[in-house]
């Protein structure tokens, strides 16, 4: 089935409702184009707060927002809940699970997924966290394993269930390890009086020499000091050799018994079939020109995590952060209008607004241009920036209330096991799940 478009205006098809895709659609409002966004989810995910869903501090619907509702009132916008299976550049169409869709201009804003670097065992047994379903799986795993530990008698028996190993010390690894440390320090013995906080261990493993490698030396040092004071064992210059679901082996010979390995050591772009491998760069990203147009095509663009704009200034492409996707989205929307109007286009220039990472209560690091600082003020800025960036007034209020309660009581969040996590047909303790 081919989905026909009877509009007289050029049709812009956007694949992906992340930060970049949203921005393209917003900036094309009131422009003489018809916009069709296609996404396998009908909601936008605010990924920077996924880790709080994973530890039960926030519920999933407080960081998700309906794509249809977000564009209510934008007359030139339509949405289709479908998965894209292939791009057909020779026909100017895409194949989807609801049929073939034609386009005049195509924007690939497909984002990224976890990169396991080809290790099938790590992919099978470790936990990624790039989407709401993955964050909910991780939350169930964490809580199920703590519940399992309650049933055991000795520290040695409990160790695999209460040892948490985070691989990759970028913002996700740092923020999640800090959150787990706070759960151990302030919540564990309240919710589970049979356990002691010393029974739970949090490890942060990084192959590079320092944590938060994309931020300044000052931010890296500050983050590591915060984590260490909170009881996280930080292991830098350390490679993961293997993980079999019960024990992780590190390059220095250290082994840790654990059923909780969280993998955030790398990401890779999500590219639909139909894009030639000849234009795919390292990290599974599509090579684009100075206006984010896919090399070799006049009407296909790629933005955000899936785009690789290789220049003298950016020999490895741009960083995989939301601001890059947002700014590329702005630029592509302008470029499409300029092309339609036969006007000259301008090259994309990224403006780095800075980086923030939180480690826990009153603890964050900030690189804002020449200003580099850490501690309580950086934490306030981190909270403000993330709060105002959320879609939807309701979500902002809910998150603010949750954060306020957590700050006042040290015990925010529900931490409910709504659905038992199943991997390979059985739960982590080897039993078939039973939902009442």
Kindly list the structural domains of the chain, giving each domain's residue range(s) and its CATH number in brackets, ordered by start.
2-40+82-114+267-340 (3.50.50.60), 120-265 (3.50.50.100)
| pLDDT, tens only, 115-135 | 999 999 999 999 999 999 999
pLDDT at 3: 46
What sign does the dihedral 75-76-77-80 (CA atoms) show?
Answer: positive
- Name residues whose C-beta falls within 8 Å of residue 160's C-beta, 6 or more positions apart in sequence: 246, 247, 257, 258, 259
> CA-CA distance, 364 to 375, in Å (whole number)?
5
Determine whether 384 is exposed, middle or buried from the number of CB atoms within 10 Å of its CB (0-12, 13-18, 19+). exposed
Element (H, E) at 2: strand 2-3
> Which CA distances in Å does 243 have to 113, 162, 165, 167, 237?
20, 16, 11, 11, 18
What pLDDT score does 424 carry?
52
Q: Are 86 and 274 in contact (CB under 8 A)?
A: yes
In whole angstroms, give the CA distance from residue 180 to residue 51.
10
How far is residue 300's CA from residue 110's CA, in Å, rounded to a whole number?
A: 13
Looking at the annotation, which residues are catalytic?
Answer: 175
What is the pLDDT at residue 419? 83
H-helix or E-strand containing 93?
strand 93-96
Cα angle 353-356-359, degrees, rounded to a multiple of 5: 180
Residues of the chain with pLDDT under 70: 1-7, 423-436
Q: How much is the pLDDT for 426?
A: 43
What is the per-residue pLDDT for 423?
Answer: 67
CB 263 within 8 A of CB 128: yes
- The reported pTM is 0.90
Q: Which residues contact 15 (CB under 8 A, 6 or more apart)?
A: 21, 37, 38, 39, 84, 94, 106, 107, 108, 109, 110, 272
Quote the pLDDT of residue 410: 78
């Amino acid at each position: 089935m081919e989905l026909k478009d009877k509009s007289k205006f050029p049709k812009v098809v956007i694949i992906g409702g992340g930060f970049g895709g949203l921005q393209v659609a917003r900036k094309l409002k009131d422009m003489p184009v018809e916009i069709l966004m296609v996404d396998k989810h009908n909601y936008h995910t605010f990924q920077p707060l996924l880790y709080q869903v994973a530890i039960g501090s926030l519920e999933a619907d407080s960081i998700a927002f309906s794509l249809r509702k977000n564009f209510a009132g934008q007359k030139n916008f339509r949405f289709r809940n479908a998965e894209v299976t292939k791009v057909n550049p020779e026909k100017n169409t895409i194949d989807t699970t609801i049929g073939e869709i034609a386009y005049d201009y195509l924007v690939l804003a497909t984002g990224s997924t976890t990169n396991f670097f080809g290790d099938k065992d790590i992919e099978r047994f470790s936990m990624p966290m790039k989407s709401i379903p993955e964050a909910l799986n991780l939350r169930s795993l964490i809580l199920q394993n703590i519940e399992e530990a309650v049933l055991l008698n000795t520290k040695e028996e409990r160790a695999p269930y209460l040892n948490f190993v985070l691989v990759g010390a970028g913002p996700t690894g740092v923020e999640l390890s800090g959150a787990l440390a706070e759960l151990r320090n302030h919540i564990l013995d309240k919710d589970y009086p049979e356990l002691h906080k010393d029974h739970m261990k949090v490890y942060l493993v990084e192959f590079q020499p320092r944590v938060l490698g994309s931020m300044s030396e000052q931010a890296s040092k500050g983050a590591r000091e915060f984590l260490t004071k909170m009881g996280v064992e930080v292991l830098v210059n350390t490679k993961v050799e293997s993980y079999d679901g019960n024990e992780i082996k590190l390059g220095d010979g250290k082994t840790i018994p654990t059923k909780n390995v969280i993998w955030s050591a790398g990401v890779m772009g999500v590219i639909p079939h139909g894009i030639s491998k000849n234009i795919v760069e390292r990290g599974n990203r599509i090579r684009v020109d100075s206006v984010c147009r896919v090399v070799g095509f006049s009407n296909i663009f790629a933005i955000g995590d899936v785009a690789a704009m290789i220049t003298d200034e950016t020999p490895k492409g741009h960083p995989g952060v939301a601001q890059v996707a947002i700014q590329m989205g702005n630029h592509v929307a302008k470029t499409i209008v300029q092309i339609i109007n036969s006007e000259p286009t301008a090259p994309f220039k990224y403006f780095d607004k800075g980086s923030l990472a939180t480690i826990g209560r009153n603890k964050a690091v900030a690189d804002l241009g020449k200003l580099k600082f850490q501690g309580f003020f950086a934490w306030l800025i981190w909270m403000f920036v993330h709060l105002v960036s959320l879609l939807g007034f309701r979500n902002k209020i809910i998150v603010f209330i949750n954060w306020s309660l957590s700050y006042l009581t040290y015990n925010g969040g529900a931490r409910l096991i709504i659905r038992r996590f199943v991997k390979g047909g059985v739960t982590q303790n080897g039993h078939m799940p039973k939902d009442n």
